[in-house]
Amino acid sequence: MNYLAKQIEKEEKGKAYKLSGDVSGISHVEMKCYQTYIRSWKDYIEWAEKLEYDLKSRYVLFPKNFKDVHDKTFLEYQKQQDKMERRKQAKERRTVNQLLKKDIKLLDTKIQDKDYLLKVPENCQEIRKEGQALGHCVGSYIPHIANRECDVYFIRKKTDPDKPFFMVDWRRGKIVQCQGKGRIRYPQEMVEFVHYAEEKLRLLKGEEEKKAA
């Protein structure tokens, strides 16, 4: 506490109070200043621990110029977190691409009727492009697919199989969402195919799960 008091005196150019001294004269503004510095020091210690600094060192625990060291440590911590997030996302993409390859092998051309077909995305990039074309956040599904919480498929018109049309969110053995551009619900003329696709997915993926068990 005395350390923080000295830092406040240095940075804020105000009177510093020691923990053992008379604090009855501390104003509300000064108390808020203490609270801010205590939170900042707590944050700094947490970042330093994540960065594996030597917290047994007094130079680390109580840097001479706290504000500068706090800010530099935060930037270093942010870089570390960004790097870890990039690695995490790259791993998720690899996992999803592997799962999509298996689904392509399992489902390729097997779910279609005279008007529509169910398409397995080629890779993560195609999922993101589909989301951009349809105007909703399909790309944010990547972590959920990687964790096997859901699968994403596309419904296309057979007359225009390369044009984004509707997206299917498959989880827990059923289609929980089927949405088109602007998140519109599928129309009445698609109901029969959606029900058919759901039954076929349940059958084909169920058989695959039994084989893997």
pLDDT in tens, 169-202: 999 999 999 999 999 999 999 999 999 999 999 9
- Residue 160 pairs in a beta bridge with 157
In the block, which residue shows the tokens 């330093």?
A: 48
pLDDT at 8: 63
What is the helix, strand, coil percentage profile of the chain, to 5? 60, 10, 30
Residue 124's identity, in one-letter code, is C
Q: What is the pLDDT of residues 61-79, one digit of tens each?
A: 888 888 899 999 999 999 9
Residue 213, both tokens: 């068990």
Kind plus residue range of the DSSP H or E element containing 118:
strand 116-119
166-171: strand order across its sheet? 116-119, 151-157, 166-171, 174-179
Helix, strand or coil, per DSSP, at residue 170: strand
- Residue 119 pairs in a beta bridge with 154
Q: Over the chain, what is the mean pLDDT?
A: 88
Of the candidates 132, 117, 121, the residue with the CA atom closest to the CA atom of residue 99: 121
The residue-averaged pLDDT of 75-93 equals 96
pTM: 0.75
The residue-averaged pLDDT of 11-28 equals 58
Boundaries of every domain in the chain: 2-6+27-84, 86-212
pLDDT at 66: 87
Q: In angstroms, rounded to a whole number, what is the distance separating the alpha carbons of residues 118 and 112?
A: 6
Q: What is the pLDDT of residues 100-143, one digit of tens each?
A: 999 999 998 999 999 999 999 999 999 999 999 999 887 688 99
| Phi, psi at 126, each rounded to 5° | -65, -35
